[in-house]
């Protein structure tokens, strides 16, 4: 199956219209009609926005297969869940969350760790 065939199959499976994709990409419907009728694939500059619209991975759109992602060694189940939630936040909220976590962890730090943190801020120990 080609990228174009996979694209139109996913539109059908998800109950989406090509016109909605065109609006998302900022192109005319003639372009997607040409891809479908001629069996040509979309230009590379549209591939990532197409994945965003279809909510699929780049790998799936290009190959039709998903690589099973193995858990990162050394990260607990809670850590993986927290990371997944963190990644869904906008950047500003990610920064605020990091600051809040630093505040929460500081009382737990040992005196040596506190000295190291002060030294890394450029202040004398």
The pLDDT value given to residue 79? 87
Lowest mean pLDDT among 14-18, 33-37, 63-67: 63-67
Q: Is 121 left (phi over 0), alpha (psi -120 to 50) or beta?
A: alpha
The CA distance from 50 to 3, in Å, is: 11
Could you give the percent of the chain with pLDDT greater than 70? 84
H or E element in which residue 78 lies: helix 77-88
- For 76-109, the pLDDT digits (tens) are 888 888 888 888 888 899 899 999 999 998 888 7
| Token pair recorded at residue 18 | 């090509």
For the domain made up of 3-63, the CATH class stated in words is mainly alpha
d(CA 49, CA 55): 10
pLDDT, position 125: 47
Taking residues 55-74, what's their average pLDDT?
A: 82
Task: Provide the pLDDT for residue 107.
Answer: 83
pLDDT band at 115 (very low <50, low <70, confident <90, very high): low
Say if residue 123's pLDDT is above 60: no
Q: pLDDT by residue (tens digit) across 83-92?
A: 888 888 888 9
Q: What are the sequence ranges of the domains in the chain?
A: 3-63, 77-120
């Amino acid at each position: 199956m080609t990228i174009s065939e996979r694209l139109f199959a996913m539109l059908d499976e998800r109950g989406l219209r090509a016109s909605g994709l065109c609006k998302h990409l900022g192109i005319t419907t003639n372009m997607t009609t040409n891809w479908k009728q001629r069996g040509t694939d979309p230009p590379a500059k549209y591939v990532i926005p197409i994945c965003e619209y279809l909510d699929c991975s780049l790998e799936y759109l290009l190959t039709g297969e998903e690589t099973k992602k193995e858990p990162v060694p050394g990260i607990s189940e809670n850590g993986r869940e927290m990371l997944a939630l963190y990644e869904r936040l906008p950047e500003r909220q990610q920064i605020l969350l990091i600051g809040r976590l630093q505040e929460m962890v500081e009382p737990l730090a040992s005196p040596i760790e506190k000295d190291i943190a002060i030294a890394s801020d450029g202040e004398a120990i």
